[in-house]
């Protein structure tokens, strides 16, 4: 495991990122005031429930959002490049080469009418003009072996619909690591997979990390995955980071009531002890939404008068930051 | 002894699918399973995709007749129920379903009240506003009045699943099948819905058939567990036994492949990985269907199919190498 304390340079530095989806009908602030840093070789997990803005955040970093999304930030530095200032051409060079993304549903991101082999060859040639088709084919076989596919020649002839979910995710991962990326963004990579296949993919990601000296940004709602793979964890709620710390710190000393609730629920489910969960954990909400300024106040067991004002993300101790009035 | 709520003997369900242009093949979705669900029990069916667990739920709901075998509900054969209009009407009333995705199983153009009135209207049963309110109250949506006139998009995912559960309970059914009832929900909500289901079971005196791929989720709610693999039952027994002393290598692997939500244990104990993928139900392996992925497989597993044998009281496992596996 690569320790965070080893200073081997910052890979990603995002400061005060805001993302707003706008149309004539509605306006949604999906990500509010989020700052994220990643060192080279580090693996972070962004956890949160659906609608917490975790996927939007990851896509915003690489400007992969649709035109109706407005992205503002004080700073998005990736590997020494200012993402806010580069033009589309330069950005295209970074995407797919230095930063790659794997998704929840790999089959729908592969072209259904082109064979796996041709797609891999295409992606390999797109970042290397000098490579011949034959070399690319050889390289594709190599890559598939690296993602533990036993018979790469057969898989290369297949079309995406002929692949199982696990196999498709392996192919996708192979394509993602083909250009030796510095950062791999994994957006719920195992949600659509069976448990035994999920374990295989997790193990694969972990070993690729060492092999390619890869940094991984894992977007997930599953704390089990985050504990397995992440060095640091950001907990998001309603577009904001409510707590960040080393993975161990998040679990051993959760401070924000939402983090506490998340961990208590996952562990209760894992151990089959949901009956012992406190009754105060509720999805029903005690007061109307929108009135209080702390987004979590209406589901929080510890909310008080102070929660009418918005708390800031403040340093708690060494590595931990928390957004809650209880710590101030 | 009372008649079992659900009794299945050697039930099979085959589907015919086209392979290529003219060729047809048979998908053996469920290939000879035995199941006894007693009244008041919650019986969980666990398996990966393609194991046939959803087909079992369709059979239990009487939505599809089995290709062969006997399926009885409280002693009455499903074949007889399906041909008798009155019996069928009664059967539909007493067996209800909750599905995985509360977003697509509720009509977006109807209010919560209209959704919950529907079962009463279909079965011409008297109901008042207070019946509906009591239902909402029972599934923890309080105060109920505030939810009556809301549309589905105006309530959260967890609340939607609560409405689905209320709708299933409206006609006081005897059996409720729950197909991955919490898969689409967030972790904190999952735990809530699970607790709600446990409460409602004793309050309404229900029999549950729960279909799931998430084993740990079932720890708190399951009485009996059936583990399916490629259309076959490979292990069946009391939930406690299955969790504490699983016998089949697949069950053991399945239980171990869940990463614990705790970085300390996760990083100390590497995730044991079961290689390979579940087989295709069109062309399942010969002999024991798990032999392609099993670390204990020998020649006999490739040739013969293991039968379920009783390893402990009411705990059955289908494996030739039980002794080796447990050591």
pLDDT at site B271: 80
Which residue, chain included where needed, has tokens 């797609």? A119
- What is the rounded distance in angstroms from the CA atom of residue B44 to the CA atom of residue A84? 52
Q: Which two tokens stand for residue B184?
A: 């689409």
Please tell me if residue A282 touches chain B, with a CB cutoff of 8 Å: yes
Domain end (from A178, A202, A219): A178
In a domain, residue A326? The reply is no
pLDDT at site B151: 94
In a domain, residue A3? The reply is no
- For the ranges A38-42, B39-43, B277-281, B307-311, which has the lowest average pLDDT? B277-281
- For the ranges A280-284, B13-17, B111-115, which has the lowest average pLDDT? A280-284
In a domain, residue A1? The reply is no
- The terminus-to-terminus CA distance of chain B in angstroms comes to 37
How far is residue A184 from each of residues A143, A187, A201, B19, measured CA to CA in Å? 16, 10, 14, 38
CB contact under 8 A, B259 and A267: no
With beta carbons less than 8 A apart as the criterion, state whether B178 and B140 touch. Answer: no
Q: Which two tokens stand for residue B70?
A: 């006997």
- What is the rounded distance in angstroms from the CA atom of residue B247 to the CA atom of residue B243? 10
* Strand duo A320-323 + A313-317: pairing: antiparallel
pLDDT at site A50: 85
Residues A106-117 as b or e (16 or more Cβ within 10 Å = b):
bbeebeeeebbb
Please indicate, yes or no, whether residues A71 and A174 belong to a single structural domain of this protein: no
CB contact under 8 A, A195 and B258: yes
Please indicate, yes or no, whether residues A42 and A183 belong to a single structural domain of this protein: yes
CB contact under 8 A, A283 and B189: yes
Q: Which of A198, A324, A50 lies closest to B189 in space, CA to CA?
A: A50
In a domain, residue A246? The reply is yes
Q: Which two tokens stand for residue B69?
A: 């075998």
In a domain, residue A103? The reply is no
- What is the rounded distance in angstroms from the CA atom of residue A85 to the CA atom of residue A75? 10
| Cβ contacts of B322 within 8 Å, gap of 6 or more | B247, B311
Residue A269 distance to chain B (closest CA, Å): 5
Please indicate, yes or no, whether residues A145 and A192 belong to a single structural domain of this protein: no
- What is the rounded distance in angstroms from the CA atom of residue A37 to the CA atom of residue A44? 9
pLDDT at site A287: 46
What percent of chain A clears pLDDT 70, i.e. is strictly above it?
A: 93
Please indicate, yes or no, whether residues A39 and A149 belong to a single structural domain of this protein: no
Q: Which two tokens stand for residue A147?
A: 């993602």
ipTM: 0.86
What percent of chain A clears pLDDT 90, i.e. is strictly above it?
A: 55
Length of chain B: 327
Please indicate, yes or no, whether residues A88 and A23 belong to a single structural domain of this protein: yes
With beta carbons less than 8 A apart as the criterion, state whether A41 and A79 touch. Answer: no
pLDDT tens for each residue of B119-139: 999 999 999 999 999 999 999
Mean pLDDT of A87-98: 88
What backbone torsions phi and psi does residue A185 show, to the nearest 5 degrees? -95, 120
Domain end (from A151, A178, A205): A178
- What is the rounded distance in angstroms from the CA atom of residue A144 to the CA atom of residue A41? 22
| Number of domains, chain A | 2
Please indicate, yes or no, whether residues A194 and A165 belong to a single structural domain of this protein: no
pLDDT tens for each residue of B142-165: 889 999 999 999 998 889 999 999
Q: In which band, very low, low, confident or very high, does the pLDDT at A290 lie, cut at 50, 70 and 90?
A: low
pLDDT at site A282: 54
Q: Whole-model pTM? A: 0.88
Return the HEC string of chain B: CCCCCEEEEEEEEEEEEECCCCCEEEEEEEEEEEEEECCCCEEEEECCCCCCHHHHHHHHCCCCCCCEEEEEECCEEHHHHHHCHHHHHHHHHHEEEECCCCCCCCCCCCEHHHHHHHHHHHCCCCCCHHHHHHHHHHCCCCCCHHHHCCEHHHCCHHHHHHHHHHHHHCCCCCEEEEECCCCCCCHHHHHHHHHHHHHHHHHHCCEEEEEECCCHHHCCCCCEEEEEECCEEEEEEEHHHHHHCCCCHHHHHHHHCCCCCCHHHHHHCCCCCCCCCCCCCCCCCCCCCCCCCCCCCCHHHHHCCCCCEEEECCEEECCCCHHHHHC
Please indicate, yes or no, whether residues A229 and A316 belong to a single structural domain of this protein: yes
Residue A294 distance to chain B (closest CA, Å): 19
Please tell me if residue A281 touches chain B, with a CB cutoff of 8 Å: yes
Torsion-angle region of A215 (φ positive above 0: left; ψ -120 to 50: alpha; else: beta): beta
Mean pLDDT of A240-251: 94
- What is the rounded distance in angstroms from the CA atom of residue B142 to the CA atom of residue A138? 63
Please determine, for residue A295, whether its predicted confidence score (pLDDT) is greater than 90.
Answer: no
Could you tell me the CATH number of the domain that includes residue A24?
3.40.50.300
Please indicate, yes or no, whether residues A185 and A293 belong to a single structural domain of this protein: yes
Cβ-nearest to A195 among B157, B190, B257: B257
Please determine, for residue A259, whether its predicted confidence score (pLDDT) is greater than 90.
Answer: yes
Parse chain B into domains and list their residue ranges. Answer: 6-105+176-183+211-326
Q: In which band, very low, low, confident or very high, does the pLDDT at A129 lie, cut at 50, 70 and 90?
A: confident
CB contact under 8 A, A269 and B263: no
**Which residues of chain A make contact with B156, given a CB cutoff of 8 A?**
283
pLDDT tens for each residue of B219-266: 889 999 999 999 999 999 999 999 999 999 999 999 888 888 998 888
pLDDT at site A7: 47
* Strand duo B76-77 + B95-98: pairing: unpaired
Please indicate, yes or no, whether residues A194 and A298 belong to a single structural domain of this protein: yes
- For the ranges B30-39, B154-163, B273-282, which has the lowest average pLDDT? B273-282
In a domain, residue A297? The reply is yes
Q: What residues are paired with A246 via a beta bridge?
A: A232
Please indicate, yes or no, whether residues A282 and A147 belong to a single structural domain of this protein: no
Q: In which band, very low, low, confident or very high, does the pLDDT at B71 lie, cut at 50, 70 and 90?
A: very high
CATH superfamily of B6-105+176-183+211-326: P-loop containing nucleotide triphosphate hydrolases (3.40.50.300)
Please indicate, yes or no, whether residues A142 and A205 belong to a single structural domain of this protein: no
Domain region containing A153? 111-178
Please give the residue of chain B at the shortest CA–CA distance from A262: B188
pLDDT tens for each residue of A171-215: 999 999 988 899 999 999 998 888 889 999 999 999 999 888 899
Which residue blocks in A111-256 are alpha helix, DSSP H? 116-126, 133-146, 152-157, 165-177, 195-212, 223-229, 247-252
* Strand duo B224-229 + B309-312: pairing: unpaired
Please determine, for residue A280, whether its predicted confidence score (pLDDT) is greater than 60.
Answer: no
Mean pLDDT of B279-297: 88
Please determine, for residue A3, whether its predicted confidence score (pLDDT) is greater than 50.
Answer: no
CB contact under 8 A, A277 and B191: yes
More confident residue, A287 or A198: A198
pLDDT at site A5: 42
Q: In which band, very low, low, confident or very high, does the pLDDT at B23 lie, cut at 50, 70 and 90?
A: confident
**Which residues of chain B make contact with A268, given a CB cutoff of 8 A?**
191
Mean pLDDT of A283-294: 56
Please indicate, yes or no, whether residues A184 and A171 belong to a single structural domain of this protein: no
Please tell me if residue A208 touches chain B, with a CB cutoff of 8 Å: no
In a domain, residue A156? The reply is yes
Number of alpha carbons in the 13 Å side-chain half-sphere of residue B89: 7
CB contact under 8 A, B190 and A283: no
**Which residues of chain B make contact with A49, given a CB cutoff of 8 A?**
186-189
Q: In which band, very low, low, confident or very high, does the pLDDT at A273 lie, cut at 50, 70 and 90?
A: confident
pLDDT at site A1: 40
Domain end (from A131, A158, A178): A178
**Which residues of chain A make contact with B274, given a CB cutoff of 8 A?**
196, 199-200
């Amino acid at each position: 495991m690569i320790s965070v304390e080893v200073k081997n340079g910052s890979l990603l530095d995002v400061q005060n990122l805001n993302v707003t989806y706008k149309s004539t009908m509605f306006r949604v602030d999906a990500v509010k005031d989020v700052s994220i840093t990643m060192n080279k070789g580090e693996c972070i997990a962004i956890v949160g429930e659906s609608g917490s803005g975790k996927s939007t955040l990851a896509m915003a970093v690489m400007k992969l959002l649709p035109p109706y999304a407005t992205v503002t930030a004080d700073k998005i530095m990736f590997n020494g490049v200012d993402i806010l200032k580069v033009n589309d051409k330069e950005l295209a060079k970074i995407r797919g080469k230095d930063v790659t993304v794997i998704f929840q549903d790999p089959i729908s991101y592969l072209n259904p009418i082109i064979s796996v082999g041709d797609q891999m060859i295409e992606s390999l040639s797109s970042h290397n003009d000098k490579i011949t088709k034959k070399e690319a084919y050889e390289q594709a076989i190599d890559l598939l072996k690296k993602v533990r596919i036993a018979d790469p020649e057969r898989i290369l002839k297949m079309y995406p619909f002929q692949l199982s979910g696990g196999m498709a995710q392996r192919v996708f991962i192979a394509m993602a690591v083909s250009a030796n990326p510095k950062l791999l963004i994994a957006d719920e990579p195992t949600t659509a997979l069976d448990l035994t296949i999920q374990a295989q993919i997790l193990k694969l990601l972990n070993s690729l990390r060492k092999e390619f000296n890869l940094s991984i940004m894992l977007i997930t709602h599953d704390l089990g995955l985050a504990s397995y793979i992440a060095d640091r964890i950001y907990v998001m709620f309603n577009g904001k980071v409510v707590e960040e710390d080393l993975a161990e710190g998040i679990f051993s000393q959760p401070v924000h009531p939402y983090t506490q609730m998340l961990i208590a629920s996952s562990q209760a489910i894992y151990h089959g002890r949901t009956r012992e969960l406190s009754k105060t954990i509720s999805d029903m909400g005690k007061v109307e939404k929108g009135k209080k300024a702390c987004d979590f106040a209406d589901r929080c067991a510890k909310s008080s008068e102070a929660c009418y004002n918005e708390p800031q993300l403040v340093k708690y101790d060494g590595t931990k930051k928390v957004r809650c009035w209880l710590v101030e | 002894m009372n008649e079992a709520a659900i009794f299945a003997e050697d039930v099979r369900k085959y589907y015919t699918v086209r392979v290529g242009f003219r060729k047809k093949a048979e998908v053996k979705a469920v290939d000879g399973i035995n199941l006894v669900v007693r009244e008041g029990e919650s019986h969980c069916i666990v398996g990966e995709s393609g194991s046939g667990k959803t087909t079992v739920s369709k059979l239990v709901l009487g939505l599809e007749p089995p290709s062969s075998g006997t399926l009885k509900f409280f002693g009455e054969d499903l074949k007889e129920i399906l041909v008798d209009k009155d019996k069928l009407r009664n059967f539909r009333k007493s067996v209800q379903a909750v599905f995985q995705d509360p977003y697509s199983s509720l009509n977006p153009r109807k209010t919560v009240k209209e959704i919950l009135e529907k079962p009463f209207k279909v079965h011409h049963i008297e109901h008042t506003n207070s019946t509906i309110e009591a239902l909402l109250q029972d599934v923890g949506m309080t105060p109920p009045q505030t939810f009556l006139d809301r549309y589905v998009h105006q309530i959260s995912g967890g609340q939607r699943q609560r409405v689905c559960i209320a709708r299933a309970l409206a006609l006081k059914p005897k059996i409720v099948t729950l197909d991955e009832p919490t898969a689409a929900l967030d972790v904190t909500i999952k735990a809530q819905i699970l607790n709600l289901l446990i409460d409602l079971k004793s309050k309404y005196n229900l029999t549950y058939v729960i279909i799931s791929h998430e084993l740990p989720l079932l720890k708190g709610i399951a009485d009996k567990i059936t583990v399916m693999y490629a259309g076959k039952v490979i292990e069946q027994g009391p939930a406690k036994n299955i969790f504490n002393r699983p016998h089949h290598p697949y069950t053991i692997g399945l239980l171990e492949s869940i990463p614990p939500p705790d970085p300390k244990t996760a990083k100390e104990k590497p995730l044991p990985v079961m290689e390979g993928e579940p087989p295709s139900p069109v062309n399942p392996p010969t002999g024991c269907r798990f032999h392609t992925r099993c670390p204990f497989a020998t020649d006999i597993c490739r040739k013969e199919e293991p039968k379920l044998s009783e390893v402990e009281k009411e705990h059955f496992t289908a494996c030739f190498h039980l002794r080796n596996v447990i050591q």
